[in-house]
Every structure is written in structure tokens, then in C-alpha cells.
Amino acid sequence: MTNAGRTPVPAGPKRGWFTRFLDTVEWLGNLLPHPVTLFALFAVLVVVGSGVAAYFDFSAVDPRPEGAAGRSADGIIRVVSLFSVDGLQRIIANLVTNFTSFPPLGVVLVALLGVSIAEHSGLISAAMRGLVMGASKRMVTVTIVFAGIVSNTASELGYVVLIPMAAVIFHSLGRHPLAGLAAAFAGVSGGYSANLFIGTVDPLLAGFTTSAANLIDPSYNVGPEANWYFMIASTFVIATLGAIVTEKIVEPKLGKYNSDEASIDLGAQQLDKLTARERLGLKGAGLAFLLLAVLLALSIVPEWGILRNPETGGVPDSPFLKGIVVFIFVTFAIPGFVYGKIVGTMNTDRDVINAMSKSIGSMGLYIVLVFFAAQFVAFFGWSNMGAIFAVKGATALQEMGLTGPLLFVFFIAMCGFVNLMLGSASAQWAITAPIFVPMLMIVGYSPEVIQAAYRIGDSVTNVITPMMSYFGLILAVAARYKKDMGLGTLIATMLPYSMVFFIGWTILFILWVFVAGFPVGPNAPTYYEFSAG
């Protein structure tokens, strides 16, 4: 049979190398099991691996001085086999306490209780609408990116509310709606770790960092406020960079918008302005927040402040810093209830209780994940494998001469690459922190600084990875305005943000930590030294 007379089949669109690369990343990411399954597998792997490593006498010289807490008499760190009768007994006896004493669990749930009141009362949504809709046309882009960053205080609210709202705002201004969507997405996801306030992600990451640091220093504690100063500065830098990328790169590339491309009736869209009752509620909530801030300042600023350290009279190691999660709860819960009382969304204690119970109910998956993550972290610590990997890795870094700013550039880039395949910030840090925190502590850097660097890498590639849990939602919203919107188009739109955020945020980190010598948070040291005893 010949091909004569047949109509040739048209060739598909030519796929560039970058599209093929993204397809490969997506394929590899899809091969990974669910994060819960991943932690369970890692826990089993540690148990079996510790038995193999102990058999081959895997060990390292302990770099800590003689007399340091946890240092053996002969100065050698050896693997402890969990693949044994003693190991099995230890696992069974401590399975529950590993979970209940895991640092991120309690602090995240307590902080979430307060945030849930502010969220379900409508305070956070109204505040975001007021911020964005009240901005001038000249400032609307930077305001949207800024609002996206701040919205991370309330977890997924930015994805669900702000991103669709930003597309509507841009379209109403005669601008390309996908540019508005991209600007908001960049703020919410690309600037995920930046914020003016301490939110639920801060105690979550600090808990994992504390557990990892305890492999080297059992007494070390990282508080939720550990990166606060640096993240405040990052908020303004990322908001500015996001606005520049939107107006100078993304929007010109998108061109003039043609409403025929939409898959919905754009004329039916409308953005509700704040009502008089909502504006009154915001004023009431603002007044409540101001009063709380004054009371808090009176308790920590004066020398006689009741929340200062009772022994030293200072703020370091004070009840304020130790109990900062409590203040996160209060500063969201009370203004949230005041707002709800004024607008009518919260009238009785039952409304408050229902708001908190709904949020805790939505944390079921997180609690399951934490159970298995806690076992993995505990097993890894018991086996001494983390400490040995840290010593050997730190030695390799020192032999390579890779220290200072260059070391952290590579570390941030590595975190960003891992994030392409493991989009959950908590899952990624729970796996990598037990290795990299001790390793970089041995090189001489504090867990607070290491965590700040991780947060940059974890954030900047969120907007270009299909593994990010809300990526499908963003794609669905974008398809409203462009019928043929595909994964490659969305990633190509967001790639400039990822690149500029990586460069700009890394430069800010280097200038902040190594040039200016500023602390990344309250009482957060830059360097770490082993201490005896």
C-alpha cells in the first residue's frame, strides 16, 4: 500500500527544550508517593538502613569538644541500629510520645485557632478587599502583590480569594486579567515565606528546625519569631520585585486582552465593595488590635514589664518569646471576634467555637502527616545517622572551601530545585532539615539563619511547580480568561517571577546577613559555636 492520495497528518507543535524539561519534572514529581506515604517509607528506610550501617560500623569523629553534652567518651559518633530487639522495643515504647511531643504539632494548632476566628468572621477577607480595592490605579499592582504576601498569615485564603479577585480587578481597569492573576499568585506563592506578621508557617518550620538542631545541640530551641526581621524586609522587596516583573515583563508579553478568549461571561463578574457595616467592623477590629499592641508593649518594653525575663530583666529567653504563639492566637482571635460581632457573623460563643472546630477539622491530613513525620525525625535522631551525615557533609564543604555567601547561594538553589518535586514546605523541610541544619551548624551557622535561607528556596519555585497543591486551582482560574490555557503557558508566565525572586531575595539575604550583619530575627544569632557541657 502506498501513501499516494493520502492527506498528510499535520505535525504537532514543536516542543522547546524548556517545555520538555518541565514535562520531565512533572513526570518525576508524579512518581513520588503521597507525602504521608513518603514519611512512612523514610521511617522504615531509617530502621533498616541503621541496621546495615551499624553492621558496617558507619561512624564519624565528633567535632564537639570533650565534655560537650551528648559526646561519647572516645569522641566517635556511631550508628545505633534500630533493626534489632532493643530498637524495636524503643520504637514501640515511644511511638505515641514521638507524635504528641513533636514541636510543630501544638504550636501550629494553637496559632490556627486564633487565625480561624479572624478568617471565619470575615475579617481577613474584608481587610484584603479593602487593601486592594482602595489602592490607586498607579499602586494597584504592588498592592496586589503585597496583599498576596500578607494573606499567607491566613493559610489558603490568598489562593481562594485574592488570586481570582486580582484577575477581576485588572480586567475592570482595562488591563490583562492574567497579569493580575500572575501578580497575586507571585505574592501568595512566590513570596510564601515573607510577611509582616508571624503566621502559622513560622511555628511549623521552627518546630522542624528545632528537632533538627537538637541532633547536634539537645538544648537548642528555635522560636516562631526566628526569621521575623528578615521576613518583614523581604515583604517589601518581594512586593516591589513582583510589581516590576508584572508591569515590565509579564503584562507587555501578554499584550492587549481580547475578551473573546474567555470561557465565561466576563460581564457577569463583579467585585463587591466593602459595605458600611464591614468598614465599621474593620475600624473596630483595628482599634482592638491597637489596644492589644499597647498592652503587649507595656508588658515587654519597660524594664518592669511582666513578660521580660524575670532573672535577667531582658527580652531574650523571656516569657514573651517562649509564649509568642499565644500572642499570635490572641491578636487574631480578639480582633476577629470584634469584627464578627459588629458585622453579625459572630454573635455568641458558639459561633467562635464553630469557627475553631471547622479549621481544626480541616487539619486532619496535617495531623496524619505529622504522626509519620515525627516518627521519621525521631528514628533519624536515635540512629545517629543524621549527625554522621552532617559531620561528613560539613567536612566535605570545608574541604571544598564552600562557606559564607557562596555556600548559601548553592543551598538556596538546592532547596528551590527540591521544591519542584516536593511542593509541600512542611514535608520538604521535615525531610531535609535533619540533614542540612546539623551540617551547616557544624560549619558554623545558626539554625535561624539556615531556616531563613531555606524559606527563600522553598518559596521562589512554588509558582512554577505543578507539585504545588494549589497549582491546579490557579490553572482553572486562568482558564476562565483564556480557553486554551495550558500548564506550559501558566509556568512560562510565572517563570520570570521565579527567576527574579531567586536573584533578588538571595542578594537581600547576603546583604542582610553577611554585609550588614543584621540578625534574621529577635535574638537570632548568625553563627553557631559548639559549647562544652
- Which bin fits 318, alpha (ψ -120 to 50), beta or left (φ > 0)? beta
Q: What angle do CA 441, 442, 443 make, to 5 degrees?
A: 90
User: CA dihedral defined by 302, 308, 309, 311, rounded to 10 degrees?
Assistant: 40
For the chain, the residue count is 533
Q: Is residue 198 part of a domain?
A: yes
Q: Is residue 356 part of a domain?
A: yes
d(CA 24, CA 117): 42
Identity of residue 403 = T
Per the structure, the count of domains in the chain is 1
Q: Structure pTM?
A: 0.68
Q: Return the H-helix or E-strand segment holding 201.
A: helix 201-213
Q: Is residue 524 part of a domain?
A: no
Give the domain extent around 392.
32-265+272-515
| Burial of 163 per CB tally in 10 Å (0-12, 13-18, 19+) | buried
Radius of gyration of the chain (CA): 25
Cell of 474: 490557579
Mean pLDDT, all residues of the chain: 81
The neighbour count for residue 504, using CB atoms within 10 Å, is 20
d(CA 405, CA 437): 16
pLDDT (tens digit, 9 = 90+) per residue, 349-394? 899 999 899 877 767 767 887 788 788 878 987 888 877 776 776 6
Q: What are phi and psi of 70, to 5 degrees?
A: 90, -5
Q: Is residue 352 part of a domain?
A: yes
Name the one residue in this structure whose C-alpha cell is 483564556: 482
Q: What is the pLDDT of residue 385?
A: 81
d(CA 340, CA 114): 13
pLDDT (tens digit, 9 = 90+) per residue, 2-57? 444 444 444 444 555 655 665 565 566 556 676 678 778 888 999 999 999 999 98
Q: Is residue 14 part of a domain?
A: no
Q: Is residue 153 part of a domain?
A: yes
Q: What is the pLDDT of residue 300?
A: 85
Q: What is the pLDDT of residue 480?
A: 78
Q: Is residue 355 part of a domain?
A: yes
Q: What is the DSSP letter of 527?
A: B
Q: Is residue 433 part of a domain?
A: yes
Q: Percentage of the chain surpassing pLDDT 90? A: 30
H and E: helices and strands count for the chain:
23, 2
